[in-house]
Chain A
Amino acid sequence: MATNVIMPSLGLTMTEGTIVRWLVKEGEPVGKGQPLFEVSTDKATIEVEAQTSGILGKILVAAGETAPVTAVIAYITEPGEVVAAASGREKEPEPARPVVAQALELRQLPREPGQRIFISPRAKKAAQEKEIDYSHIQGTGPNGRIVEKDVLAYAALSPAVRVSPLAQKVAAACGVEVGSINGSGTHGKVMKKDVERALIPSAPVLAVKPVSTTRTIPLSGIRRIIAQRMAASSQTAPHVTLTTEVDITETVNLRKQLLPEIERMTGQKLSFNDIIIKVVSRALSEHPMMNATLQENEIHLLEDINIGIAVDAENGLVVPVLKQAHRKSLAEICSESKNLVNKARAGKLLPDDMSGGTFTISNLGMFEIDTFTPIINQPESGILGVGRMVDKPVVVEGQVTVRTMMGLSLSFDHRVIDGAPAARFLQRVKELLEKPLLLII
Chain B
Amino acid sequence: MATGVGCQRATMADYGPILVIGGGVGGYVAAVKAAQLGAQVTLVEQDRLGGTCLNRGCIPTKALLKSAELVDSLGKAASMGVMVDGFKIDFSRMIARKNQVVTRLVKGVEYLMSTNKINVIKGKARFTADKRVEVTCADGQVQTLEPVKIIIASGSEPARLPVPGADGCRVITSDEALDLKEVPSSLLIIGGGAIGVEFASIFSTLGSKVTLVEMMPRLLPAMDEEVVGVLEKNLMKKGVKCITGARILSISDGESQDEKVVQLSKDGQEQSITASLVLVAAGRKPYTQGLGLENTSIKIDKGKILVNGKMETNTPGVYAVGDVTGGILLAHVAAAQGIVAAVNAMGSCQEVDLRFVPGCIYTSPEVAGVGLTEKEAKEQGRKVKVGKFPYSANGKAIAMGENEGMVKLVCDEQFGEILGAHIVGPRATDLIAELTLAMQAELTAEEIAHTIHAHPTLAEAIMEAAHGVVGKAIHI
User: Do A165 and B444 contact each other (CB < 8 Å), given the known contacts A173-B414, A173-B415, A192-B417?
Assistant: yes
Q: A165-B447, A184-B2 are in contact. Are A191 and B442 (CB under 8 A)?
A: yes
Nearest to A128 among chain B residues (CB) is B5
Closest-by-CB residue of A relative to B441 is A164
Is B2 in contact with A165, judged by CB distance below 8 angstroms?
no
Q: Closest residue to A187 on the B side, CB-wise?
A: B3
Q: For residues 393 through 445 of chain B, which have their beta carbon under 8 Å from a beta carbon of chain A? A: 414-417, 441-444
Q: Is A167 an interface residue (CB 8 A)?
A: yes
B272: min CB distance to chain A, Å: 53
Measured CA separation A170–B417 after assembly (Å)? 10
What residues on B are CB-neighbors of A170 within 8 Å?
415
Given A173-B415, A192-B417, the answer on whether A166 and B2 have CB atoms closer than 8 Å is no
Q: Measured between C-beta atoms, what is the minimum distance from A125 to chain B in Å?
A: 13
Q: Tell me if A169 is interfacial: C-beta within 8 Å of chain B.
A: yes
Minimum Cβ distance to chain B for residue A390 (Å): 59
* A423-B285 Cα distance, complex, nearest whole Å: 71
Of B415, B416, B446, B447, chain A has the most CB atoms within 10 Å of the CB of B415
Contacts of A169 in B (CB 8 A): 415-416, 444
Q: Is the CB of B417 within 8 A of A166?
A: yes
User: A165 contacts which chain B residues (CB < 8 A)?
Assistant: 441-444, 446-447
What are 19 sample pairs from A and B whose C-beta atoms fall under 8 A apart? A164-B441, A164-B442, A164-B443, A165-B441, A165-B444, A165-B446, A165-B447, A166-B415, A166-B417, A166-B442, A166-B443, A167-B442, A169-B444, A173-B414, A173-B415, A184-B2, A185-B442, A191-B442, A192-B442
Chain B nearest CB: distance from A238 CB in Å?
32
Interface of chain A, main secondary structure: helix
CA distance A170 to B2 in the complex (A): 21
Chain A residues lying within 8 Å of B414, measured Cβ to Cβ, are 173
Residues in chain A near residue B416, CB distance under 8 A: 166, 169
Within 8 A of B (CB), among A134-187: 164-167, 169-170, 173, 184-185
Within the complex, the shortest CB–CB distance from A169 to chain B, in Å, comes to 5
Shortest CB-to-CB span from A198 to chain B, Å, is 15
Known pairs A164-B441, A192-B417. 9 more at Cβ < 8 A? A164-B442, A165-B442, A165-B443, A165-B444, A165-B446, A165-B447, A166-B442, A166-B444, A170-B415
CA distance A165 to B441 in the complex (A): 8
Residues of A341-379 at the interface with B, using a CB-CB cut-off of 8 Å, are: none
The answer for the CA separation of A39 and B202 in the assembled complex, in Å, is: 78
Distance, CA A169 to CA B416, complexed state (A): 9
In the complex, residue of chain B having the shortest beta-carbon distance to the beta carbon of A191: B442
In angstroms, Cα B242 to Cα A395, docked, is 100
Complex Cα distance, B371 from A166, in Å, reads: 16
Q: Collect the chain A residues with CB atoms within 8 Å of residue B417's CB.
A: 166, 192
Which residues of chain A come closer than 8 Å to B2, judged between CB atoms?
184
User: How does the 8 Å CB contact mask read for A318-338 relative to B, with 1 for contact and 0 for none?
Assistant: 000000000000000000000
When distances are taken between beta carbons in the complex, the residues of chain A under 8 Å from B447 are 165
Nearest-Cβ distance from residue B415 to partner chain A, whole angstroms: 5
- Please give the distance in Å from A176's CB to the nearest CB on chain B: 13
Residue among B2, B414, B442 having the largest count of chain A Cβ atoms under 10 Å: B442
What's the Cα separation between A191 and B444 when bound, in Å?
Answer: 12
Question: Considering the chains assembled together, what is the distance between the CA atoms of A164 and B444 in angstroms?
Answer: 9
Find the residue from A166, A167, A169, A185 having the highest chain B CB count within 10 A: A166
Task: Please give the distance in Å from B353's CB to the nearest CB on chain A.
Answer: 10
Interface centre among B2, B414, B441, B443 (most CB of A within 10 A): B441
Set of chain B residues within 8 Å of A185, measured between Cβ atoms: 442
Q: How near does chain B come to A191, taking the closest CB pair, in angstroms?
A: 6
B-chain residues with CB within 8 Å of residue A166 when the two chains form the complex: 415-417, 442-444
Residues of B within 8 A of A184 (CB): 2
A113 vs B359: C-alpha distance in the bound complex, in angstroms?
A: 43
Contact with A along B111-146 (1 / 0, CB 8 A): 000000000000000000000000000000000000
A169 to B446, alpha carbons, bound, how many Å?
Answer: 11
A225→B325 CA distance, assembly (Å): 52
B441 CB contacts on chain A under 8 angstroms: 164-165
Q: How far is the CA of A192 from the CA of B440 in the complex (A)?
A: 11
Chain A residues contacting B444 (CB-CB under 8 Å) are 165-166, 169
A164 to B416, CA, bound (A): 13
Q: Mark A108-152, 1 if CB is under 8 A from B, else 0.
A: 000000000000000000000000000000000000000000000
Nearest A residue to B417 via CB reads A166
Within 234-290 of A, Cβ neighbours of B (below 8 Å) are at none
Tell me the complex Cα distance, A34–B39, Å.
Answer: 61
State in angstroms the CA–CA spacing of A166 and B443 once bound together: 6
Closest to B446 in A: A165
Shortest distance from the beta carbon of A171 to any chain B beta carbon, whole Å: 10
Give the Cβ gap from B356 to chain A, nearest Cβ, in Å.
12
Q: Which residue of A lies closest to B2 (CB)?
A: A184
Residues of B contacting A164 with CB < 8 Å?
A: 441-443
**Complex CA distance for A145 and B444, rounded to whole angstroms:** 42
Distance from B145 Cβ to chain A, minimum over Cβ atoms (Å): 37
Complex CA gap A184/B417 in Å reads: 18
Complex Cα gap A173–B413 (Å) = 13
Task: Give chain B nearest CB distance to A133 CB in angstroms.
Answer: 14
Report the Cα distance A166→B356, complex, angstroms.
15
The CA-CA distance from A164 to B438 in the complex, in Å, is: 10
How long is the Cα–Cα vector from A192 to B441 in the complex, in angstroms? 10
Query: CB-nearest residue of chain B relative to A170?
Result: B415
In the bound complex, CA of A79 to CA of B432 (Å): 69
Q: Which residue of the partner chain B has the closest CB to A193? A: B442
Q: Give Cα A184–Cα B2 distance, bound, in whole angstroms.
A: 7
B454 vs chain A, min Cβ distance (A): 22
Instruction: Report the bound CA distance from A170 to B446 in whole Å.
Output: 14
Give 3 nearest A-B pairs by CB, closest first.
A164-B442, A166-B442, A169-B415
**In the complex, what distance in Å separates the CA atom of A24 from the CA atom of B447?**
51
Interface readout for B443-462 with A: 1 if CB under 8 Å, 0 if not? 11011000000000000000
Q: How far is the CA of A184 from the CA of B441 in the complex (A)?
A: 12
Q: In whole Å, how far is A279's beta carbon from the nearest beta carbon of chain B? A: 52
- State the Cβ distance, B420 to closest chain A Cβ, in Å: 14
- Distance of B441 from chain A, by nearest CB (Å): 6
**Distance A191 CA – B415 CA, assembled complex (angstroms):** 14
CA of A184 to CA of B353 in the docked complex: distance in angstroms? 12
Nearest CB of chain A from residue B461's CB, rounded to whole Å: 21
Q: Shortest Cβ distance from A103 into chain B, in angstroms?
A: 22
Q: Mark B241-256, 1 if CB is under 8 A from A, else 0.
A: 0000000000000000
* Nearest opposing residue in chain B for A164, CB measure: B442
Instruction: Please measure, in the bound complex, the distance between the C-alpha atom of A185 and the C-alpha atom of B1, giving whole angstroms.
Output: 9
Cβ < 8 Å to B, chain A residues 185-233? 185, 191-192
Taken residue by residue from 12 to 28, chain B's Cβ proximity to chain A (1 for < 8 Å, 0 otherwise) reads as 00000000000000000
CA distance A184 to B443 in the complex (A): 16
Measured in the bound complex, the distance between the Cα atoms of B442 and A167 in whole Å is: 7
Bound Cα distance A385, B103 (Å): 87
How many Å from the CB of B436 to the closest CB on chain A? 15
Cα–Cα, bound, A185→B443 (Å): 13
Q: Which residues of A contact B442 (CB under 8 A)?
A: 164-167, 185, 191-192
Q: Which of A169, A173, A184 has the most CB of B within 10 A?
A: A169
A167 to B416, CA, bound (A): 11
Determine how close the nearest CB of chain B comes to the CB of A94; give it in whole angstroms: 37
The docked-state distance in angstroms from the alpha carbon of A345 to that of B446 is 60
CA distance A169 to B413 in the complex (A): 12
**Complex formed: what's the CA distance from A166 to B448 in Å?**
12
Smallest CB separation, A18 vs chain B (Å) = 26
Residue of B nearest to A163 (CB): B442
Within the complex, the shortest CB–CB distance from B19 to chain A, in Å, comes to 31
Determine the distance from Cα of A294 to Cα of B441 in the docked complex, in whole angstroms: 48
Cα distance A62–B414 in the bound complex, in angstroms: 43
A245 to B233, CA, bound (A): 89
